[in-house]
Amino acid sequence: MAMGPWSYVLLLSSTALIVGVFIQRKLNELPELATKADQEYDYIIIGGGSAGCVLANRLSEDFSKKILLLEAGHDDRNHPTVSIPARAFESAHSEIDWDYYTVPQKHALKAFKNQTGWWHRGKILGGTSNVNEMIYTRGLPKDYDSWNIQGWTFQDVLPYFLKSEDNENADFVKTGFHKMGGPLKVGRSKTHSLTNFLVRAGKEMGYKIIDINSQWSEGFVEVQSTLRKGIRQSASRAFLYPVLYRKNLDVLTDSLATQIVFNGKRAVGVKFERNGTLTTVRAKQEVLLSAGTVGSAQLLLLSGIGPKEHLEKLKIPVVADLPVGDNLQDRMTYEFPIAIKPAISITQEKLESFWEQVKYKLVGKGMLASPNGVEVVAFTNSVTNSEKDWPDLQLQFKGMLHGESYGNMLGLSNETLSEISARRAFKEGMACFSSGLRPRSRGSLRLLNTDPRSQPLIDPNYLAYEEDVEVILTGVKLCKKLLDMPSMKQIEAVYAEGPTTACSGFLSGSDDYWRCMIRGRAQPVFSPVGTCRMGDVKQADTVVDPELRVKGLKALRVVDSSVIPSIISGATNIPTIMIAERAADLIKRNKVADS
């Protein structure tokens, strides 16, 4: 007998429910996390983000060593929606978001409330790899070669990228720049038809379609992402879940490290707070700090490692006078909104629709499997770039048109929110984001007070150099040029906003108008690096040596994005995983970290 439409709907719903229950049951079958710490471990890892999860996996391979991983946030298994790619920003301003804000910016964020910028950082096991856009980019070879640090050239670090990777594309693997079999699953999610139009438009503009994680550096890129079968592949899922059964590994969530304990110049333990109780645990071999660009710098300062004058002002006993918190870098991006006619973009209504829900739960496909709408990016050169084989500009194409809710999440001013409300007139659209890859501007991080629960003073000093504005301006012009391509005309793509009040003193569409708009509306990219700079121990501006050991101290390393000397061309999650892979090898070779 033929199945009626409602019977078919019921069958799909039931099947989707069963699949969802099965997936959650598999998560529940994983071992429970620790509820308390032992008195002593060989290695204590502070921070269960991307780097911390890698370290926990690799160091616990030696069953003779006891490892403790401390994470301030919750167990991510209790937050199953983070695994759904299109829901990347639903964690914004929640209990699993550190919800950092910069101090008011002098040169940027003029269209934001109080001229402050919001930083979305994951306060959850897996860290920001559980809330980011999942883009798999390593950075460009020249990024690493320019550091001029022994052991950290691109050829030195490429094996560590490959060690982690499990790429589903056999053709990519044949090139030698990718690998199968690692813990981190990498794939593609082609969930909206806009991708095809964007790729064709890139060709019409004269660009090649490239794999940015290979020998090519300029062109349009069909994004590779840390996802598989529609599920986010966070660092916790990739590196931690498979080893939770190890008896020599304890993972404590909801545990905020408050201080590194020293005996003279040697790190001997960590103080942390859990459920209102302060505990001290000892480290027999090393303390490994992997709390991120903000968290690692903050904890070092709280522990007496940082600029002497700043520490003395807060009456913190000085353990080491080092430039912790200096060299802070982050990129900015400007959103160029585009309206289109065909119903092929991602909208909130579609994401919440019955069919998209069923499609995702049944086969892990559809719009909910999209890496937050980002499926195409481009790397190219600005007018200010003198090194044409080292692009300094990225365009990121997102298959959705953002409105007031997105702007409100970012912290745009009420006046600006009112202006972007005009986008409501368009039901379908996308965004072209223009981002400078290597900004010259440098900022700093300092403590507000000695309370480890207080947010530090974060000052990225955005757009302090005019050159940083000019790079983004080049990208805006390319976004405009994109609209003239035949493939974009086919979908009737047009700029989705009119002139703004804030920049009304300039001719709409002129270079000065866009410069004004960039200083007003360009937003943080959430890829901060540099506060615990790696480099030669003889350099006054470095915090850790090339083996990531804190200068002048023993048994303490920093292993995360904070050690990156100059920002990577692209997202920082994958470089952070690489740093941890290399650090694990360094730690295994050297039993005690002495610099």
* Amino acid at residue number 558: V
Q: What is the pLDDT of residue 6?
A: 46
* CB-count burial class (<10 Å; 0-12, 13-18, 19+) for 4: exposed
Is residue 160 classed as helix, strand or coil in its secondary structure? Answer: helix
CB neighbours of residue 323 within 10 Å: 18
**Whether residues 307 and 319 fall in one domain:** yes
**Whether residues 379 and 490 fall in one domain:** yes
- How far apart (Å, rounded) are the C-alpha atoms in residues 493 and 486? 10
CB neighbours of residue 100 within 10 Å: 19
Crossing angle for the helix pair 354-363 and 5-28, to the nearest 10 degrees:
50
Counting the structural domains of the chain, the total is 3
Residue ending a domain, among 472, 492, 521, is 521
Beta strands in 18-101 (DSSP E): 40-46, 67-70, 100-101
Q: What angle (nearest 5°) sits at the alpha carbon of residue 50, between those of residues 45 and 54?
A: 60
Per the structure block, which two tokens stand in for 429?
């659209």
Per-residue tens of pLDDT for the chain, all 595 residues:
454 444 434 444 444 444 454 455 555 679 999 999 999 999 999 999 999 999 999 999 999 999 999 999 999 999 999 999 999 889 999 999 999 999 999 999 999 999 999 999 999 999 999 999 999 999 999 999 999 999 999 999 999 999 999 999 999 999 999 999 999 999 987 777 899 999 999 999 999 999 999 988 999 999 999 999 999 999 999 999 999 999 999 999 999 999 999 999 999 999 999 999 999 999 999 999 999 999 999 999 999 999 999 999 999 999 999 999 999 999 999 999 999 999 999 999 999 999 999 999 999 999 999 998 999 999 999 999 989 899 999 999 999 999 999 999 999 999 999 999 989 999 999 999 999 999 999 999 999 999 999 999 999 999 999 999 999 999 999 999 999 999 999 999 999 998 889 999 999 999 999 999 999 999 999 999 999 999 999 999 999 999 999 999 999 999 999 999 999 999 999 999 999 999 999 999 985 444 4
- How far apart (Å, rounded) are the C-alpha atoms in residues 256 and 453? 8
**Whether residues 242 and 298 fall in one domain:** yes
Residues 68 and 272: beta-carbon distance below 8 Å: no
- How far apart (Å, rounded) are the C-alpha atoms in residues 469 and 462? 10
- b/e code 432-447 from CB counts within 10 Å (16+ = b): bbbbbbbbebbbbbbb
Decide if 450 is inside a domain. Answer: no
Residues 593 and 549: beta-carbon distance below 8 Å: yes
Decide if 270 is inside a domain. Answer: yes
Per the structure block, which two tokens stand in for 204?
């019409």
Q: What is the CATH number of the domain that holds 48?
A: 3.50.50.60
Decide if 428 is inside a domain. Answer: yes
Residues 232 and 134: beta-carbon distance below 8 Å: yes
Residues 339 and 469: beta-carbon distance below 8 Å: no
* Cα-based distances in Å from 287 to 4, 281, 297: 63, 11, 15
Helices (H), 364-434: 404-410, 414-420
Instruction: Give this prediction's pTM.
Output: 0.95
Per the structure block, which two tokens stand in for 129?
């790899």
* Cα-based distances in Å from 329 to 207, 514, 519: 29, 23, 17
**Whether residues 359 and 491 fall in one domain:** yes
Partners of 445 in beta bridges: 458
**Whether residues 338 and 358 fall in one domain:** yes
**Whether residues 288 and 398 fall in one domain:** no
Does 128 carry a binding-site annotation? yes
Give the up-direction half-sphere exposure of residue 392: CA atoms within 13 A in the CB hemisphere.
20
Q: What is the pLDDT of residue 215?
A: 86
**Whether residues 132 and 278 fall in one domain:** yes
Decide if 91 is inside a domain. Answer: no
Residues 511 and 436: beta-carbon distance below 8 Å: no
Decide if 65 is inside a domain. Answer: yes
- How far apart (Å, rounded) are the C-alpha atoms in residues 46 and 70? 5
Per the structure block, which two tokens stand in for 2?
């033929």
Residues 147 and 565: beta-carbon distance below 8 Å: yes
Identify the domain containing residue 25 by its residue range: 1-30
Residue ending a domain, among 506, 521, 536, is 521
Per the structure block, which two tokens stand in for 36?
């308390």
- The bridge status of strand 67-70 relative to strand 249-252 is parallel
Per the structure block, which two tokens stand in for 521?
């509306």
**Whether residues 285 and 382 fall in one domain:** no
CB neighbours of residue 289 within 10 Å: 34
- How far apart (Å, rounded) are the C-alpha atoms in residues 486 and 553? 61
Task: Scan for tokens 């480890």, then name that residue.
Answer: 452
Q: What is the CATH number of the domain that holds 205?
A: 3.30.410.40
Decide if 499 is inside a domain. Answer: yes
Residue ending a domain, among 521, 537, 555, is 521
**Whether residues 238 and 304 fall in one domain:** yes
- How far apart (Å, rounded) are the C-alpha atoms in residues 562 and 533? 7
* Amino acid at residue number 248: N
**Whether residues 512 and 399 fall in one domain:** yes
**Whether residues 210 and 319 fall in one domain:** no
- The bridge status of strand 277-289 relative to strand 556-558 is parallel
Residue 271 backbone phi and psi in degrees, to 5: -100, 135
**Whether residues 211 and 151 fall in one domain:** no
Decide if 142 is inside a domain. Answer: yes
**Which of 283, 239, 290 is CA-nearest to residue 72?**
290
Crossing angle for the helix pair 573-589 and 154-164, to the nearest 10 degrees:
100
Find all residues with CB under 8 Å of 261, minimum gap 6, and list them: 267, 268, 269, 270, 271, 280, 282
Decide if 86 is inside a domain. Answer: no
**Cα 330 to chain center, whole Å?**
11
- How far apart (Å, rounded) are the C-alpha atoms in residues 58 and 431? 40
- How far apart (Å, rounded) are the C-alpha atoms in residues 92 and 75? 17
